[in-house]
Each structure stands twice: as structure tokens, then as C-alpha cells.
Structure 1
Amino acid sequence: MADARRAALRAGGVPAALARHRHAHAHALARGRDHGGQAQGRGPHASGATRAVRAQDAPEGRARREEEEGGERVAAALAHEVQHALEQAHPQLEVEIVRVAGSGDHVHDAPPRNAGFTSELDRALAGGKIDAALHDLPDVPRVRPDVVILGAVPRRRHPFDVLLTRDGRILDELEGGDRVAASSAARRAQVMAYREDLRAVPARGNLDTHLQQLENGDFEGLVMAATDAERLGWHDRVSEIFTTEVCVPEVGQGALA
């Protein structure tokens, strides 16, 4: 079984799968490289990759997007991505990206929804400092202030989780006792449910720190969101895209709001 999966995974590779299915729906990834002979693929939410936008709809107006101070490169990539989309759709609009300090700054080990990011942006929206806020969809609280609405969800990217290893091994090829790091308890629990002989450990710090820890040998595998790996340009470091048989991604993963 493992040999058959390895053969399937080696055909095309993760970089090709990620590029080929960049805008595909979840079921389309079943044709690429992943766990269980199908392709599919969460990680720290960009260390609180909550962004905000100010959108003044005037020919000479500048649309300001606010991004939390200390934001990750993923957050910056998302901000510029949506900035480009807005300016393409509305040529008269200029979008300015600025940083905003919030109560969640530098809280790298707590999920963004628990670190105060959304409340800071909600206050900025309610106060008229910005016109729109950009979040990872899983981080949007289910209960919102009356003055804040969910205005749009851009095209969803890969919803799955991926495994990074130093030597290209997939999850089935790791040795018993090997350490697999993930930022969320849900990911760690699912890895342990699939391979109870592994050791699931917390991934602390930001995404760059996680990768450095992997390369330093602090753990043998790192589980993160496929979209984060893609936006950071880490395609060649990805060993496997998980199917939902191994790791079910968070609701809304891969989508922005």
C-alpha cells in the first residue's frame, strides 16, 4: 500500500499539484499528489494573518488596508493579492496597505480568533478608520457586531493540509517516535489518530520559525495549510498533501473573508 502510494506521489510531485490546482475545488485535488494515493492538503494562521481594508470609492480616493503589526509574509501576500484584485476590478481605486497595532500582536502560539485580532479590526471598522477587514475565513467569529457584515468571500484556494519533511518522506514513511509538529491541537490529534506511534508536538512561533526548527532537527515533520506553503513559495519542501482520511481541515480553510 505504502509502495503504491509512494509511486503515485512521485509522479508529478507536490509543486505541480499545488500549481495545477491553485484555484480548484477540494475534490479536484484527488488527482494530484497526497496521502492515500489522492491529492489533498493547516498551520499557524499566518501568526494572526488578519488584514483590514479601507475602501473609499472615489476616483482620487486611496483605499487603506490595515495589516497587524508584526504580520507574517503570508499576511502581506494576502494583503497584496486582494489589493491587486480590488484595483483590477475598480481601476479608479487605489488601495494602500498600512500596518495597525493590535492586542494580538506577537501572540504567535494562540489561534488568531483568540488573540484579539478580529476585535481590533472590528473597532477600526465601527470607528470608520477602515472600510473593510480581511480575515482568514476560519478566524471570523460566528457572532459579529451589528455594524460589521460578511461582505464577500474571494475565490477559495487549497483547503487541505500538507506535510513538510527534510528528506521528502511522507507520513507513512516516518519512523515510530518521530516528532510531527503542528500549531493546532486538531492537527496534532488527527496525526496521532492516524499514526499513534508518532509524537505530535506544538509548533510555536511564526511560520518561518517553524521551517527553521524543522531544518534544525527539532522535529521530523511539520503540518501546515497548503495555502500558506504555496504563498511562501515552499512548494519544493512539501512532501505530502493530506486527504481528509488523514487530516480534516478546518471549516473554511483556504478561503478569505
Structure 2
Amino acid sequence: MISRPFRIGTRGSRLALAQAHEVRARLMAAHALPEEAFEVTVISTAGDRIQDRALSEVGGKGLFTKEIEDALLGGRIDVAVHSAKDMATAVPDGLALTAFLPREDVRDVFIGRSVRRIADLPQGARVGSASLRRQALLKRLRPDLDLVIFRGNVQTRLQKLERGEVEGTLLALAGLNRLDAADVAGEILDLDAFPPAPGQGAICVEQRAADEATAALVAPLDHADTHRALLAERAFLAVLDGSCRTPIAAHARPDGEGFRFHGMILTPDAARMHETRLSAGRADLVEAAAEAARRLVADAGPDFFAGWFG
């Protein structure tokens, strides 16, 4: 029995709240509990407050999780709900990622102010994105575009687009689907040419590692294929020391009895790119992804990474 409301920590954006409410709904269904058995606690993060600079300039992915993880470690919340792609590769001591919900569509979409496709943008058009991966992949498709940092939640970015600050932007289809806003999407981008960020489309649940009661409560939410895919993508990322300063793409997906994996690294200027594709069994996938990353590092050479971490 739950003697007090079970506290679910989250950021305060509409998308973050939609994700937290999905976790709450799944917990209610799994345990036949009423809504009042759960409390959604909104926590402001530095990533939400700092909107005028690229994440790579002010601390990277941890800006979206640190305050929430501090609340979890301090016992002020029982679990944290995150977009998996926002998670740093190293989870703080005492915490663990114990559940990954069934994955949404992993693809990116282009949203234009006056055109529906990237190919239809005029020469030199300004396109906004907060993601170095998206910027680098766009540069490979359209090196003529003027790419600018474009921070903010989904609604903020769409408002900036409508005001004409840019001619187009890129967003994750998963987020639009969760907000019932997929109708704003123009072009859904091909996965081979535009692979996603590691973790894109997945919601993860973080908890105190030693909290066995919470682990038992959360366990029914875990989707085995998504969990295995995310372990592989995070292992690939960890080898590459991935952060918001590194254009890295990774996607693992079920294929018959095993998985297929596609990984990519790019220089921020998109001048160079290396990629890997492999198939692996369920038990071998995580190590195969890590080994693929090590091979990419060897193939790319030390000069490929020289400007990434200065």
C-alpha cells in the first residue's frame, strides 16, 4: 500500500508534463490505483531557465536533469521522469535508470514557415536548431543554409518560427505526437540520412538505486526492447564521451530475434562523417554497440575529435 502520494518529479514544459502524466497513467493502470495516489512535482532546471545560449556553452545535458536528480537524492521526490536523450551517459551515484517506456517514433521532422521540405528552402535560408547533430546533418544536406541556435520548448520554437525569426526548424516527431501536434510537421526525415540522437523518442524513469519498493512499483512500466536499445545507444555514446558538444547519432531497433544498430559521428562543421551499421543478438547488442564506437574512434583518428572538447 502507498501511505502517501508517490511523487513524480519532472520539468515543467508541456511535453515534460505530458511524459510525467503518461508515467502516472501507466502506474495507475498497472497497480489499480487512483490518480490521487500520485503527485506530479514540477522542478525548474537550469536548462529551462537559460535560453540565450547553446547548451554546449553552459554545461551540456546535465542542465536538464541536475536539479531533478538532486531532489531525488534528497528524498523530495520518489522517481524522476526524463526524455532519455537528455540524460548524460553517467548517472549520479545512488541513482539508477530502471524503466524505459515503449518508444515513440524516433524520426526528426522539418517544419517550415512557408515551405514543407528542406529541399524547397531558398538559398541561404535561416534555419534554427539547438542540436549540433541536427545542424551537422542539415549542413550535409544543404551547406548553403544559415544555421542558428534555437532554444526553447516546442511551443516557444513554433512561436519563434511563426514570428519569422527563422524560415524553418527541426523537432522530434515523438514530442509532437505526445503533444497531439503532429499536424504541424512538414517533412518527416529519412532515418538513413538523418538518424536520431541516442535515446530519442524514449521516456525513462530514474530512481534511488537502493529503493526496492519503488523498483517493484515501476517494474511493470519497463519495455524490454526499448530498454535494450537504449542500453546499446548509451554504451555507444559513453565510448565517444558524448555530450551536447558532439554531433552523434545512434539508433538500435528490434529486427527479428535480434537488433539492428546504426551509429554516426560527425564533425560540427559536417566536413567529415563516419558511420557504422551492424546486426546483433539481444545478449550481444550492448557490447557490439560499444565496440562499434571504438572502431569509429580508431577509423576517424585523433584529429577528428580534436576540436570537440577544447
**What TM-score does the superposition give when structure 2 sets the normalisation length?**
0.59
Q: Which residue number corresponds to residue 147 of structure 2?
A: 200
- 1:77 has 2:18 as partner: yes
Cα separation, 2, equivalents of 1:227 and 1:219: 22
Q: Which residue number corresponds to residue 99 of structure 2?
A: 152
Higher strand share: 2
Higher helix share: 2
Cα separation, 2, equivalents of 1:64 and 1:113: 26
Match of 1:97 among 20, 25, 40: 40
Cα separation, 1, equivalents of 2:159 and 2:69: 34
Match of 1:87 among 21, 28, 33: 28
Q: Which residue number corresponds to residue 166 of structure 1?
A: 113
Which amino acid letter does the alignment assign opposite residue 223 of structure 1? L
**Cα contact 1:83–1:95 (8 A) shared by 2:** yes
Task: Give 1:223 deviation, angstroms.
Answer: 0.5
- 1:61 has 2:4 as partner: yes
Aligned residues with identical type, % of pairs: 35
Partner SS for 1:135:
strand
**What TM-score does the superposition give when structure 1 sets the normalisation length?**
0.70
- 1:242 has 2:183 as partner: no
1:90/1:246 CA distance change after superposition, 3 Å: same
Cα separation, 2, equivalents of 1:101 and 1:200: 28
Cα separation, 1, equivalents of 2:170 and 2:60: 20
Q: Which residue number corresponds to residue 133 of structure 1?
A: 80
Task: Give 1:189 deviation, angstroms.
Answer: 1.3
Segments of 4+ moved more than 6 angstroms:
none
Partner SS for 1:175:
coil
Partner SS for 2:19:
helix
**Cα contact 1:113–1:139 (8 A) shared by 2:** no
**Cα contact 2:102–2:202 (8 A) shared by 1:** yes
**Cα contact 1:168–1:238 (8 A) shared by 2:** no
Pairwise CA RMSD: 2.1
Cα separation, 1, equivalents of 2:43 and 2:117: 39
Which amino acid letter does the alignment assign opposite residue 185 of structure 2? V
Query: Which runs of 5 or more structure 2 residues have no equivalent in the other structure?
Result: 205-310
**Cα contact 1:102–1:116 (8 A) shared by 2:** yes
Cα separation, 2, equivalents of 1:152 and 1:204: 28
Task: Give 1:59 deviation, angstroms.
Answer: 4.1
Q: Which residue number corresponds to residue 127 of structure 2?
A: 180
- 1:106 has 2:49 as partner: yes
1:241/1:74 CA distance change after superposition, 3 Å: same
Match of 1:218 among 165, 170, 195: 165
Task: Give 1:204 deviation, angstroms.
Answer: 2.8
